[in-house]
Amino acid sequence: MRSLSMLQNETATPRIGALSILPLFFRLTDKRAVVAGATAAATWKAELLCAAGAKVEVFAEPEDVSTEMAALAESTPSLKLTPRRWQPADLKDAAIAIADAEEEEEAAAFTAAAAAVGAPCNVIDKPDYCQFQFGTIVNRSPVVVGVSTSGASPVLGQAIRRKIETLLPAQIAEWADLAHSWRKSLAEKVPFASGQRTFWEQFVNRAFISRPGKDALEELHAAASAVENKGHVTFVGAGPGDAELLTLKAVRALQAAEVILFDDLVSDEVLELARREAKRILVGKRAGRPSCKQHEINEMMVKLAKAGLRVVRLKSGDPMIFGRAGEEIEALEEAGIGYDVVPGVTAGLAMASRLGVSLTHRDCAKSVRFVTGHSRHGGLPKDVDWKAIADRSATTVFYMGGRTAGAISATLIEHGMSADTPVAVGADIGRSTEIIRRTNLAGLEACCNEIGQGQPVLIAVGEVFRQRAVVGQFNLERQQARATA
């Protein structure tokens, strides 16, 4: 059994996936930048450097100076054009060095000269000689977004930039400018952390919908000052595993979290969307494995929230369906701690969507039910109306029913359901390891045994799976083919 202290020190798999390139932002204000060459391509790089506040020196033979570079030099006081070839001594004290060199020998010489003085170097269109790359830029300065495809497809990078351009309104720049001047005032007027979080959350919400008014600071201060220095818990549904199924509200909660208590079934892709600085604590409970006890989770949530932290309780699927959220909410209410709930896509609905099956198809089912596949003692729950569950006009989804599949099948047949009633069995829905099998009640136990007992299994029973068997299988095969293409 894992102790509470062990769980607090436990970490997930690496929080950041492999990066082909590390995105960095250079502060170049009043720094010296050297550009070797005066082609149109070099002109664009020089213009970027000037826009970033650098003092740019361009070296090029007079006959090699493009009309674009000549015009830029004439109109830009921070750019100096020297009509000769660059020399290694020119790179001394350079904060950054750019060259447009056609010949490999020239590129190698420039790279070596830059390395000798410790200047980061980029040779245009020659990645082997580049210490860094220029990405495509979305400019809402002081908000600057850079996009890189590591040289694989500049056209793709430009397409991504256009998408981001449509998402970032022009007034973002005005709000970001004001944020600089407001920080000191905020610390003085709202000294506690939870109030400051409220300030910045409302700041962000306004930044995306309107331009800042003259009383914006006072209004945000007033709202933030009204917040007590208390922590808060947000229950977030992580869905079945596919990060693209998260709601926008769920992503915002993950980005605002200081501590994340996450279930064993939450995928790495979902955790990747969380705030980098957030502490992550695994509190998973899995049958047959060492697990955190429920009272430990409750105590941990209360303790963290009382310390004034913003906690996200991240649960697979939907937090209000077989996630024991009710017990955790009761603990928070007893401690006087605020909470909210962000729903998620529960696994039963995710599997139905994968198969293209309507769980309430009007020709087959008048209702849908979610039923636990095991009791707290591990066996089949006895306090369930199995006669009602065996109703052929309903669709029933059993959660965590892998270990009791044989008992589920036998009990439903005993209460009048036909042995050939169609069944869909799934595990790891929406992930690369997804398994979905079709069977019937008679073959349910064998099907679950084939999938294996080491993972949670979802069992869906009903005539809707007979009605859509062919089309559903076609949809599933098509989606799987797209995922592996």
| Chain center to CA of 91 | 41
Retrieve residue 35's tokens.
Answer: 């550009």
Q: d(Cα 264, Cα 98) in Å, to the nearest integer?
A: 48
Alpha-carbon distance 311 to 230, whole Å? 11
Q: Which ranges of 152-192 does DSSP label H, i.e. alpha helix?
A: 154-167, 172-189
Tell me, yes or no, if 263 is annotated catalytic: yes
Amino acid type, 244: E
Catalytic residue among 31, 285, 293, 303: 285
**143-147 and 310-315 as β-strands: parallel, antiparallel, unpaired?**
unpaired
Q: For residue 237, give both structure tokens.
A: 């549904």
Position 186, amino acid: L
| Annotated catalytic residue, options 90, 100, 263, 318 | 263
DSSP 213: P
Tokens representing 248? Answer: 């926008």
Rg (CA), the chain: 30
Dihedral of the alpha carbons of 443, 449, 454, 459, in degrees to the nearest 10: 0
Taking the C-alpha atoms of residue 352 and residue 396, their distance in angstroms, rounded to an integer, is: 12
At a CB cut-off of 8 Å and minimum separation 6, what does 45 contact? 35, 98, 100, 122, 124, 134
- How many residues would you count in the chain? 485
Alpha carbons within 13 A on the beta-carbon side of 30? 0
Q: Which two tokens stand for residue 78?
A: 């921070």
Residue type, 149: T
Contacts of 205 (CB under 8 A, 6+ apart): none
Please tell me the distance from the alpha carbon of residue 260 to that of residue 297, in angstroms, as a whole number. Answer: 12
**242 catalytic per annotation:** no
- First-to-last alpha carbon distance for the chain, in angstroms, is 42
For residues 337 and 305, what is the distance between their CA atoms, to the nearest angstrom? 7
By annotation, the residues acting in catalysis are 263, 285
